[in-house]
Structure 1
Amino acid sequence: MNYIVTHTDTDGVAAAALYTYLTRESSSIVFAEPYNLKKVLYKVYRKRPRSVVVLDLSPNTDTMDFIVGVVQLLREKGGSVAWFDHHLWEAEWLEQLGKAGVELYVDRTTCATGVVAKHVKPSTTVDQRFVEELVKGVCGADLWSFDHPMSPFFMRLVRRGDEDSWRLCVYSTLSRGVTWTGEFEERVVERFDEEVVELSKPMHVEVLEVNGVRVAVVEKSEKVENSILAARAMGMAKADVAVVIDKSGKISLRSRGVNVRDLAVALGGGGHAQAAGAKIDVPLSIRIASALRSKALVEYVVRVLIEHADYVKKL
């Protein structure tokens, strides 16, 4: 059996769909986040797959050794592993996985869907216009360039809080070479409306100086994408960095002219220089306190940021 392990956002879903469209291979789709990638890969290994393709996910300092071990086990059982990503990787990660037998394609000039389009050879005749439009639309959303008219729609098509059933619906449609449907349209229009309502509400932003950089901290909204929320928080606070947090400890880092990836790596995550993320441990006492007093979680994250101030540096 073939497995595709991919990220939970639009780029991850689209990359998986494009891989299937180009190869015509039947695969089981498994969704993952960077923080749980090692567990997901181990579960896949136990199913004795013939091949594993990893998309739009990078290892991090805390998971690298475990992932290399799982890859070695997969290879020993005769399985193949290919990895397509566009995040910033440490040189030693590339070396370790390369030595373990992984077929690596890491390209920071595009999104994961673009990496697949560049490096996967079609098994049969394909609609090149579909491929090009999908890559441009998805990359414009994922890289925040919005240089394609469909990018604002793709950004809202899949959210990380969505059910896997919706991700699979989007995957199934795109993998057939269909870019857009009425069902997609309805979902996105509904989300636009929800965003307008949510962004019209007052928003509490905690502001602090970290290593000479102005940082805005805000709690996650279920109705607004983290990148949009971060942009609003930075605008309101005239900040260089925005930190979007949720109760599970997941944090999204966005910036203008500041390297936030080093901070993310220090916290066990990774990503891009100006868009990264991590998951931190939130003590039970803080979780309880945040249920009683909403600012408790924000205050805890502020303390964590201050402790890691040396990792926040301007580009």
Structure 2
Amino acid sequence: MEDELIDSSRLSLPRKSVLPGAGFFYPDSFDEERAEERSKAKLEGADVAIVTDTDADGLGCVALIREMYDAALDVADFEERIAERLADDDEEEEEDVDADDEEERTYPPVALVGSSPYSLEDDLLRVAEYAPEGIDVYVCDLCPDKYEYVEEELEALAEMAGEIHWYDHHQWKPEVAEQVRAAGVDLVVGESDEECSTDVTLRELDYEFDGHFTELAAVTRDHDLWLNEDPRSKDLADYAYWTSKEEYVAIVGAYGADLPAVVEEYIAERRIEKEALIEAAVSRADFKSIGEWTVGITYGRCSQNEVADALREEGADAAVIVKPAGSASIRGSEDFERCHEVADLVNGGGHPKAAGCKPDIYDDMLDYAHHWTTEGATTKRVILNAFERVAEIPAEDDESETEE
């Protein structure tokens, strides 16, 4: 297949809106090989390892931990690279290149292992296999749906690691939390509707942080909990999504939530296309009445947060944004706080007001071709069916949630 066929920069905006980025077309084996090589290189000489989600909340935790260990990377190097990107009119899309390639050659002593709910077990095992004996490990902003998903990997890690700290704020099932703690892990789960994982990390680390880190946690929380009271939180979320992990950690570690001018310029430039993709997704939304709720559902490559806001403004109690890669984001409101219940029925999970999923319905590339050409018709139907099932059962009891 010719490279040009998956090069997003060559697509018109309407086509870009309905197709996934180039990374989607790389086989998992290719990504796994690269992840294996990078993890080994980063971990073999590390003093500390952090396995974390790579959104602004997870990376905020990394900035705090690196500050405590005096392991922050030189921010001036990253600012220079950002300026070079701005000056390059032919810059490729961030999603089509891996900006960590060059940066991670520095291999800081506090190693950042980017993870996700779908790769958590693999990343825990990589730390167990490649990190030095006795290394301290932090797991941040991640929550396994079942203990058996991470059982063998976590037990292997516990045998070789020093201390294992796990800081999170998602909805943990009590039995999963109990089993993780029984494996020797210091698990701290914050109140999911009051704290983000950066908040939890900030208060649990035995270190006196400067004020800009406290403010970073507050602004990260503003976005992660859908408060949307501080305009800077949108900047943090966008920047974490568009740039490399190491760059984001270095910049917010140095500046907190008040990003430097060169970063603000970079964000503004990227937002031109972002806004057009949001508009395209909102324009194709449908609204369905399910039980006592109005569910707005749409499809497209876009920023799910802003699209969900727009659908709520148009009367939706819950918003579903189906992505070209097959996953979907589910967002709630004051009138719908059961997103995690819906996601749990379609191979996902999350919070009462924000969750994600990827229905297990894609058997081959023909299924994906149908997905793109019908703008996610099957995925939409599966998720709406899950809403209908949730509407038939009482809301989850608060006692089912794990407390710290």
TM range (shorter): 0.7 to 0.9
What letter matches 2:322 in structure 1? I
CA contact (8 A) 2:341 2:390 kept: yes
CA contact (8 A) 1:5 1:29 kept: yes
Q: Distance in 1 between matches of 2:307 and 2:58?
A: 21
Which of 329, 333, 337 is the equivalent residue of 1:252?
A: 329
Residue 294 of structure 1 is matched in structure 2 by 374
Which of 360, 366, 388 is the equivalent residue of 1:281?
A: 360
Q: Distance in 2 between matches of 1:75 and 1:111?
A: 26
What letter matches 1:290 in structure 2? H
Is residue 250 of structure 2 the alignment partner of residue 172 of structure 1?
Answer: yes
Q: TM-score, normalised by structure 1?
A: 0.86
Which of 12, 15, 20 is the equivalent residue of 2:66?
A: 20
Residues 311, 23 of structure 1: alpha-carbon distance in 2 compared, 3 angstrom cutoff? farther
Q: Distance in 1 between matches of 2:124 and 2:292?
A: 40
Residue 70 of structure 1 is matched in structure 2 by 153
CA contact (8 A) 2:223 2:237 kept: yes
Structure having the higher Rg:
2
C-alpha RMSD over aligned residues:
2.3
SS at match of 1:34: coil
Gaps of 5+ in 2: 1-45, 72-108, 396-404
CA contact (8 A) 1:218 1:298 kept: no
CA contact (8 A) 2:140 2:197 kept: yes
Q: How does 1:101-120 map to 2 (within 5 A)?
A: 101-108=184-191, 109-120=194-205
CA contact (8 A) 2:319 2:330 kept: yes
Identity in percent: 24
What letter matches 1:300 in structure 2? T
SS at match of 1:101: coil
Residue 239 of structure 2 is matched in structure 1 by 157
Residue 240 of structure 1 is matched in structure 2 by 317
Gaps of 5+ in 1: none
Q: Distance in 2 between matches of 1:44 and 1:133?
A: 31
Higher strand share: 1
1:30 positional shift: 1.3
What letter matches 1:34 in structure 2? P
Q: Quick check: 82-91 or 40-49, which moved more?
A: 40-49
Q: Distance in 2 between matches of 1:247 and 1:314?
A: 32
Which of 251, 254, 261 is the equivalent residue of 1:182?
A: 261
1:271 positional shift: 1.2
Is residue 144 of structure 2 the alignment partner of residue 98 of structure 1?
Answer: no
Query: CA offsets, 1:22-72, max 9 Å, x none?
Result: 2335311111121221222222222135122111111113xx213132111
Q: Distance in 1 between matches of 2:276 and 2:382?
A: 31
Higher helix share: 2
Task: Report the number of matched residues.
Answer: 301
Query: CA offsets, 1:131-182, max 9 Å, x none?
Result: 22111211112112133352232232212xx46xx22101122334655223
Q: Distance in 1 between matches of 2:313 and 2:378?
A: 21
Which of 144, 150, 158 is the equivalent residue of 1:59?
A: 144
Residue 136 of structure 1 is matched in structure 2 by 218
CA contact (8 A) 1:21 1:176 kept: no
What letter matches 2:130 in structure 1? K
Q: TM-score, normalised by structure 2?
A: 0.68
1:308 positional shift: 6.1
Is residue 349 of structure 2 the alignment partner of residue 270 of structure 1?
Answer: yes
